[in-house]
Amino acid sequence: MRRFDYSSLKERTWDNEIINYLSQIHEKKGRQAVFLRQKPGGVEKLIAIAKIQSTEASNEIEGIRTTDTRLRQLMGEKTAPRNRDEREIAGYRDALNAVHESFACIPLTPGYILQLHKILFAHTDSAFGGSFKNVQNYITATDAAGKTYALFTPPAPYETPGAVQEICDAFCFAVGEGRVDPLLIIPVFIHDFLCIHPFLDGNGRMSRLLTTLLLYRSGYEIGRYISLESKIAETKDLYYDALERSQNGWREGADDPSPFIKYFLGTVVAAYRDFEERLEIVAEKSPLDTVRNAVGARIGPFTKSDIADLCTSMSASSVERRLRELCERGEIEKLGGGRSTYYVRKR
């Protein structure tokens, strides 16, 4: 079994792309604090939206789905889960809430990782919630002909507890030492966690919960306001490609985590950009002003979906009504028809 030493990352030389991402995140983190002070009216809206989107997206990546209406009911705990998918969604909701509310009290240890996994499966009848795998698992892929094959073989069950303990210890030591930026250590830890694949089910969702937890504990709370899971779901192919490219030589300790680090940092930068744009749109605005601001943020022709993506606190029908009102006021013009409908600003 390979060894893990995240302190050695201080000896690495990083290319300009990674350095640029780090600089952007540090700058945007400082600006986030200013935005939150200046526009407090939109904060609670963004938090509520981000929780829903994170729960939906992280499960959607794994093929776990329900309707928009049921999702919102489950997130508000206004209904009980009706099937396996909804039970897993409820579990992610509870685990994410635990991270949001108690991250400062959740240290990175195998015991706490197991507790989060137990919460994740608490609404199901699974016997393995809160337990490491007891049979060998595999990371698989599907070729063009639809045939599934083993892409990567994780450590065996008997190796797993020790490996998880070691990556937790390596992470805590490197962060405590303070000689490597946590923004570099976090993606390397998450990549190692996914390569270890310590659970029979839920590894992907756990990796995203741990990403949020570690970012929060390092002072980067962007996931509270913008769903990182949604950003990953939007670029799922790039996510899996970065993981695969970083896995080569992993068991021998000869892997290069740079592709996954770049993907991770790029995702965080994109989330910070969305934060500034969306807070400006939703902060203390009427529904009409919210849509008007979203329209103003678009360059060139735009569709109803483009505006709905920015006005995440509003339903699609509400967005459509406000677009109609802007048309009646002569501020925008509706063109095309049916699925080809689009809008342009008139002034």
pTM of the model: 0.84
pLDDT for 316 equals: 82
Q: Domains for the chain: give ranges and CATH numbers.
A: 6-281 (1.10.3290.10), 286-345 (1.10.10.10)
Instruction: Give bridge partners of residue 345 from the DSSP assignment.
Output: 332
CA distances from 220 to 39, 50, 110, 265, 330 (A): 19, 15, 22, 12, 42
Per-residue pLDDT tens digits for 137-166: 999 877 777 788 888 999 999 999 999 999
d(C-alpha 333, C-alpha 341), whole Å: 11
The full 3-state SS of 286-315, as one line of letters, equals: CHHHHHHHHHHCCCCCECHHHHHHHCCCCC
Establish how many alpha carbons lie within 13 A of residue 138's alpha carbon, considering only the half-sphere containing its beta carbon.
8
Question: Exposure of 227 by Cβ count < 10 A (0-12 exposed, 13-18 middle, 19+ buried)?
Answer: buried
Mean pLDDT of all residues in 269-281:
86
In the block, residue with structure tokens 């000689």: 179
Per-residue pLDDT tens digits for 280-303: 776 656 888 888 888 887 878 999
d(C-alpha 315, C-alpha 317), whole Å: 5
Mean pLDDT of all residues in 53-58:
94
Contacting residues for 203 by C-beta, under 8 A, at least 6 apart: 193, 194, 197
Cβ neighbours of 37 (radius 10 Å):
8
Average pLDDT over the chain, rounded to whole?
92
Question: Exposure of 77 by Cβ count < 10 A (0-12 exposed, 13-18 middle, 19+ buried)?
Answer: exposed
Per-residue pLDDT tens digits for 88-102: 999 999 999 999 999
d(C-alpha 162, C-alpha 247), whole Å: 20
**DSSP code for 219:** T
